[in-house]
Structure 1
Amino acid sequence: MDAKQAKAISDQWMIPTPAGAYMAGLENRPIIERAEGIEVIDTTGKRYLDFGSGQMAAALGHNHPRYVASVKRSLETISHSTKTFLNVDRLELHRRLGEILTPPLQKTLFLVSGSDAIEAAIDLARKATGGVDVLALDMALHGSTSFVTRSLTFGWGRAKHRLAAPGTSSILTPYAYRSPLAGGNDFVEKCLQLSFEMADANFTAKPAAVILEPVLSAGGIIVPPPGYVKALTKMAHDRGMLVIMDESQTGLGKTGKMWGHLYEDVVPDIMTVSKHFGAGMPVSAVCTTSEIAQQAVDNGYFATRSHACDPIACAAGVASIDIIQQENLVERAAAIGRRMQSAIEAMAKDVEAIGDIRGRGVLYGIELVEDRGTKAPASDLCRAVVAQCQQDGLLVQSRGSHGRMNVVRLVPPMVSTDAEIDRGMEILENALRAAVRGQTAKAA
């Protein structure tokens, strides 16, 4: 199938959303046919290094043999089961996930998508506390498929949905590179004090929870400064609120630790897991303590989906944990992060468009600016870099929020070799230089 055929099908049969991802410039986008390891191959046979890990969910590589064998075994035995009965793969996944959680996190509940898990986590917090109001960071992305999750996705802008769920509001993202509050040793204190003063004024009922990502991914790879999460947790607990960590894009090794929250001396009250949890199959989880789980259930908590505990998805989840543990991918992610950081720092020495470098493990962002002094966001340049990378065989994405899309997001699979990382970094550097030359020529 070529691009012309793909456009004809999409024009006739697809609802054109999200426009930026599917419709705009469709004729220039590859049509993916298959994948191997960290590469995807289009219908022309062209290969691309996948430094987006698919939709962030192929962090274990594409079609990992252990994952394929697990799914194949389930297909040949039982792939779907009623939730009325327990099944062997579900029980095994509860045990295996529970064993790698940070105590006192212990209890788990399985769903299908990341949005499912966030919605269920919010309801869990509300049932456990008796509260209603939920806070999220103003550059956050927590899902788009439910009324609650899209109401907490402030980074994309809630205005496009016209309606927002009651009891949802935002607090300031600790974006040290751009925040007007940054610049001193008291940035964390000022950011949180102002945030919670506004939150207290806007609460419509007893508050229930605050939700955040250990690293804000879609918002532009924003890494909270040291001490932020611990201070936020105290301020939330002082108000009777629970802390929910959305580990969809940071959990299970991506940051160079098993869980992103391990970088702070804090254990969340509730945690969600998704993306590469299923190694390619859609499965997510809500995790909490025995005490919180019991409080919520006593108050009527219930969350499920028709395919939430399917044996095939649970078998994939077990395979995912096996791969991460037996192939030492947590340590590998940390090593990849160090390699990428070094390569990007070398680029930044003479590529003036690189304004900031942020990330942990395999999750990295390069913020592009028109001028390092003014920090004016270079969104057009970022788009050009992403397009040039694609042309040269490297898939990356642009990310950001509040009208800025000037961060190149790098998320290579944790199974990437040093040679593959180096090749990706070389393509990226050449694309950066070519895009800068192009912008300079246009301005002349």
Structure 2
Amino acid sequence: MDTNEVKEIVDRWMIPTAKGAYMAGLESRPVISHACGIEVYDTQGRRYLDFGSGQMAAALGHNHPLYVQAVKRNLETISHSTKTFLNVDRLTLHRRLGEILTPPLQKSLFLVSGSDAVEAAVDMARKVTGGTDVLGMNMGLHGSTSFITRSLSFGWNRSKHGLAAQATFSMMAPYAYRCPFADCACVTGSGDFLCMKTSFDLAVSNFTGKPAAFIMEPILSAGGIIVPPPGYVKALRELCSQYGMLFIMDESQTGLGKTGQMWGHQHEGVVPDIITVSKHFGAGLPVSAVCTSAEIADRAAANGYFATRSHACDPITCAAGVASIDIIEQDGLVERAAAIDAQLRERLSAMARQIEMIGDIRGRGVLYGVELVTSRKTREPANDAAKAVVQACQEQGLIVQARGSHGRMNVIRLVPPMVSTDAEIQEGMDILEKVLKQVAQSGVMNKAAA
């Protein structure tokens, strides 16, 4: 397709549901034709290294052979089945997922998307506790397809959705680089987490009834790759327990190996009451899960808990889920993510010593963020510079994204697939380093500060 044909289709046939964020200039972006591993190709034959892992869902690489084999098998046997019957792939996925969950988590329920799973997790917490109020992070993202998930995605600014669900409130994220409390443990590494205590108290004062749950991502990905400081999650878990709130970890963007552990919460020494799983759980097909302990699952069921979708337990998506676990285990991808972590941190640290525009580096495994600022002293977000970096990287064959929240869109998010080779990682980092230096010298970041 040429540019004119693409523009005509976009203008005439597509609903511009997110014109500012996604649709602007869409016709000038590559039209993807095929992909394999970390490599993506457009209709013009250009090759790109996908340091975005698609929509965060290709962390096992594009079209992994084991995934392709599983999907082909089900296309020839059965791809869809009524949920009122069990099927072999569904049963196998329940067992395989249960085997890799952190005890006492062992029970699972399958849905289609990450939003589905979050909505179902919140409903489960409400059924179990008898409460209604749900608390999340002000920079968190938990989905956009349901009223409750849009309302808990505070990092997106709820005003874009108009109305917000009742009994949903936010507290400050542990954004150590920009914590407003100079004496906070986020900044000093010791003492009290003042940002947590202060904002939690404020949120609790807005509760309309009995609280039900707290939800957070182990790393706040879309909000700007916010990694909680040591001890933060454990302290927060204890605080939630005082109020009888179940602790939900949204592992959509961190689970199944991305952080160098099988689950993001394993870095924190905390086992959540409920976790949600999606993104690369289906290795390329949409399948998600809500996971919890036998005790909580039984209590929820006794109180009438119900959650499902028409395609929630399809054999073909469940087979893809089984394939994803097989790939992670057989290819040693948890360990591979930890090895990539070391490469990314080494290269990014070296860049930060040369490029003043880099204000902060943070992340785990294959999930990293590079925060760009116009001045390290003022820490003014370099939004325009980040936008220029994303565009220049694309032009030079590297796919990255800019992320952030609340007026800041200045964090370059790096998510190379866990199957990436050392050479591919270094190639991508070479492009990023070259672009960062070019943008820093171009005056774009000074324009952002003007």
TM-score (norm 1): 0.98
Residue 14 to residue 188, structure 1, CA distance change in 2 (3 Å): farther
Q: Is the 8 A contact 1:33 1:41 kept in 2?
A: yes
Counterpart of 1:30 in structure 2 is: 30
Following superposition, the deviation at residue 206 of structure 1 comes to: 0.1
- Which runs of structure 2 are paired with 1:41-440 in the superposition (5 Å)? 41-181=41-181, 182=184, 183-186=187-190, 188-439=192-443
Separation in 2, partners of 1:200, 1:281 = 39
Q: Is the 8 A contact 1:188 1:227 kept in 2?
A: no
Following superposition, the deviation at residue 185 of structure 1 comes to: 4.0
Misfit runs of 4+, over 2 Å: 20-23, 182-189, 440-444
Q: What CA deviation, in whole Å up to 9, does each residue of 1:163-185 have, x standing for no partner?
A: 11011000110101001114334
Following superposition, the deviation at residue 18 of structure 1 comes to: 1.7
Whichever residue aligns with residue 24 of structure 2, its letter is: A
Following superposition, the deviation at residue 187 of structure 1 comes to: 6.5
Q: Is the 8 A contact 1:333 1:362 kept in 2?
A: yes
Separation in 1, partners of 2:66, 2:211 = 44
Separation in 2, partners of 1:110, 1:196 = 32
Residue 389 to residue 294, structure 1, CA distance change in 2 (3 Å): same
Q: Is the 8 A contact 1:188 1:225 kept in 2?
A: no
Q: Is the 8 A contact 2:10 2:27 kept in 1?
A: no
Following superposition, the deviation at residue 144 of structure 1 comes to: 0.6
Q: Is the 8 A contact 1:134 1:210 kept in 2?
A: yes
Q: Give the secondary structure class of the aligned counterpart of 2:328.
A: helix
Q: What CA deviation, in whole Å up to 9, does each residue of 1:192-212 have, x standing for no partner?
A: 211221122110010000000
- Greater CA drift, 55-64 or 192-201: 192-201
Q: Is the 8 A contact 2:374 2:446 kept in 1?
A: no
Separation in 2, partners of 1:23, 1:187 = 45
Q: Is the 8 A contact 1:397 1:410 kept in 2?
A: yes
Alignment size in residue pairs:
444
Q: Is the 8 A contact 2:180 2:195 kept in 1?
A: no
Identity level (%): 70
Residue 190 to residue 211, structure 1, CA distance change in 2 (3 Å): same
Following superposition, the deviation at residue 351 of structure 1 comes to: 0.4
Separation in 2, partners of 1:19, 1:424 = 29
Separation in 2, partners of 1:101, 1:178 = 34
Following superposition, the deviation at residue 191 of structure 1 comes to: 1.8
Gaps of at least 5 residues in structure 2 are none
Separation in 2, partners of 1:442, 1:105 = 50
Separation in 1, partners of 2:334, 2:314 = 27
Separation in 2, partners of 1:263, 1:421 = 24
Q: What CA deviation, in whole Å up to 9, does each residue of 1:311-332 have, x standing for no partner?
A: 0000000000000001000000
Q: What CA deviation, in whole Å up to 9, does each residue of 1:39-64 have, x standing for no partner?
A: 11001000100000000000000000
Separation in 2, partners of 1:426, 1:134 = 43
Q: Give the secondary structure class of the aligned counterpart of 1:364.
A: strand
Q: Is the 8 A contact 1:245 1:271 kept in 2?
A: yes
Q: Give the secondary structure class of the aligned counterpart of 1:106.
A: strand
Q: Is the 8 A contact 1:364 1:411 kept in 2?
A: yes
Separation in 1, partners of 2:444, 2:156 = 30
Whichever residue aligns with residue 115 of structure 1, its letter is: S
Whichever residue aligns with residue 19 of structure 1, its letter is: K
Residue 434 to residue 112, structure 1, CA distance change in 2 (3 Å): same
Following superposition, the deviation at residue 268 of structure 1 comes to: 0.2
- Taking only aligned residues, the RMSD between alpha carbons, in angstroms, comes to 1.3
Separation in 2, partners of 1:342, 1:172 = 30
Q: What CA deviation, in whole Å up to 9, does each residue of 1:311-370 have, x standing for no partner?
A: 000000000000000100000001001101100111111100000000000000000000
Q: Is the 8 A contact 1:381 1:435 kept in 2?
A: yes
Following superposition, the deviation at residue 440 of structure 1 comes to: 6.0
- Greater CA drift, 16-25 or 233-242: 16-25
Separation in 2, partners of 1:366, 1:309 = 38
